[in-house]
Amino acid sequence: MIRYKTSNGETFDCIEGLRDITLQQFIDFVCHIEPTKPDILKQIDEAVQNGNDPMLNTKEKELLKLDIDNLIEEVNDPLFRAQELHPYYARVVSFWTGLKEKYILGRDGGEGMNVANLTTLYIKIMEVLNNMPEVEYTNVIDKDEEIWYLPERFMQDSTVIEFAEAAQFQANLAKVLGGDWLSMTKVMCVLVRKKGEQYSDKLLNRESMFLGWDMYNVWRVAFFLLKRSETYRPVMQAYINAQQLARLRQELKD
């Protein structure tokens, strides 16, 4: 955490890295604050993401850059900044610092936070949230002096049935890879275990514990999944296809 001081001398802390954020906090932010982002900012995010497509030709890139420039002009409109941008910045900063939105926006009788300071805090926070690091690729996680393990040989140390049926692993993995962090705790319950620990339904009781894990270690699990997903997907799809075929045959018999 980084400690700052307000204009009236009060101190507050702000996140400095992923270790300062729990999975529960991250999920709350994604579910309750992120959706309130102004549409123009969402459009810019989408355009920037589209611009990273390696299949775009030069003309398409130029048109996309023009779209982004036009959107940025709209963001720079003073009325938009006052009515939508700064209130959104205040919601984000309030969530991660604990400062009251009314204080930040000067709606508590005070002068409010300096616009430059508000913008700087917002940018620093979003850099932490958006720039996930390429962490060490390992199946061992040392969390608070406890050692946890991911499968050393993905889809070999555990059976396909275990991964497919335990907490609907395949469906939850697909959701996580699609950005749905709500499903991450279920995935972690199946994957993250103590040495030699076998799968059982009791592992699913660890969801609340994993919600308290810091995002650095959660990201290590997610990074593991991202690295392994391409190897895993064909095997799992073959299993799913076999299950669907079996159900179809059973339905035809009935």
Q: State pLDDT tens for residues 33-44.
A: 999 999 988 888
Q: Report yes or no: 115 and 93 within 8 Å, Cβ to Cβ.
A: no
User: Any idea which of 54-63, 111-120, 202-211 has the lowest mean pLDDT?
Assistant: 54-63
171-174 long-range Cβ contacts below 8 angstroms, 24+ apart: 173/225, 173/229, 173/232
Q: State pLDDT tens for residues 159-206.
A: 554 554 444 465 666 676 666 777 788 888 888 888 888 777 788 789
185 or 157: which carries more pLDDT confidence? Answer: 185
Alpha helices by DSSP H, the chain: 23-28, 39-51, 58-75, 78-80, 86-97, 101-105, 115-130, 160-165, 169-177, 184-191, 207-211, 215-253
**CA pair distance 200, 236, nearest whole angstrom:** 20
Q: Residue type at 58?
A: T
Residue 156's pLDDT band (boundaries 50, 70, 90)? very low
Residue 159: its pLDDT value, please? 54
Residue 24: its pLDDT value, please? 93
Mean pLDDT calculated for residue range 146-163: 62
136 or 65: which carries more pLDDT confidence? Answer: 65
pLDDT for residue 125 is more than 90:
yes
Query: Which helix (H) or strand (E) segment is 221 a member of?
Result: helix 215-253
- Rg for the chain (alpha carbons), in Å? 23
Instruction: Name 42's Cβ contacts closer than 8 Å, sequence gap at least 6.
Output: none
What is the value of pTM for the model shown? Answer: 0.75
Query: How far is C-alpha 102 from the geometric centre of its chain's CA atoms?
Result: 27
Q: Across 69-73, 85-89, 161-165, which has the greatest mean pLDDT?
A: 85-89
* 140-143 and 11-14 beta bridge pairing: unpaired
**CA pair distance 254, 248, nearest whole angstrom:** 10
78 or 236: which carries more pLDDT confidence? Answer: 78
32 or 201: which carries more pLDDT confidence? Answer: 32
Residue 243's pLDDT band (boundaries 50, 70, 90)? very low
Residue 56's pLDDT band (boundaries 50, 70, 90)? confident
Residue 153's pLDDT band (boundaries 50, 70, 90)? low
